[in-house]
């Protein structure tokens, strides 16, 4: 199984450009989420989805859009890239964790630089 696949692995954008970070999982997981990781800040939740057609905002959603048209895919769109969005982006998926919780599976990350 591929697990969670993120593309691209690296990307350089100019300020104002838009792009889509791709995330796909082959485990039939209901929950998918996007985090960004900055030095000294840990992982911060951007957006998440609890199933196809359902998305919600996390801690730092501004400047990002998501959609979930299929169970497998959860793309993250940067509408107008800004230098503050330079970061490493991680996609994760899991079964419905509920109160008991469950393991989240992470992709390898996309390192984005906005110049």
Number of residues that bind other proteins (CB under 8 A): 30
Min dist CB 86 to other proteins, Å, is 16
Min dist CB 15 to other proteins, Å, is 25
Instruction: CB nearer to other proteins: give 26 or 56.
Output: 56
Residue 42 as a binder of other proteins (CB under 8 A): the answer is yes
Min dist CB 84 to other proteins, Å, is 18
Distance CA 63, CA 93 (A): 22
Q: What share of the chain is helix, strand, coil (3-state, %, to 5)?
A: 5, 50, 45
Q: Name the residue among 81, 84, 88, 95 with its Cα closest to residue 13.
A: 81
For other proteins, the binding residue among 2, 10, 28, 40 (CB under 8 A) is: 40
Q: What is the dihedral of CA 9, 13, 15, 20, to 10 degrees?
A: -60
Cis ω for the linkage preceding 13 (within 30 of 0): no
Instruction: CB nearer to other proteins: give 81 or 107.
Output: 107
- Give the footprint of other proteins on residues 72-101 (CB under 8 A): 90, 92, 96-101
Q: Write out the residues near other proteins by the rule CB under 8 A.
A: 4, 31, 33, 35, 40-45, 48, 56, 58-59, 90, 92, 96-109
């Amino acid at each position: 199984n591929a697990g969670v696949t993120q593309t691209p692995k690296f990307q350089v954008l100019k300020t104002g450009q838009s792009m889509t970070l791709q995330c796909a999982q082959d485990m039939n997981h209901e929950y998918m989420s996007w985090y960004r990781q900055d030095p000294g800040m840990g992982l911060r939740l951007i957006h998440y989805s609890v199933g196809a057609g359902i998305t919600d905002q996390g801690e730092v959603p501004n400047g990002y859009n998501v959609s979930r048209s299929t169970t497998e895919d959860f793309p993250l769109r940067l509408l107008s890239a800004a230098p503050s969005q330079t970061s490493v982006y991680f996609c994760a998926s899991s079964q419905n964790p509920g109160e008991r919780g469950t393991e989240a599976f992470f992709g390898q990350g996309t390192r984005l630089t906005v110049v």
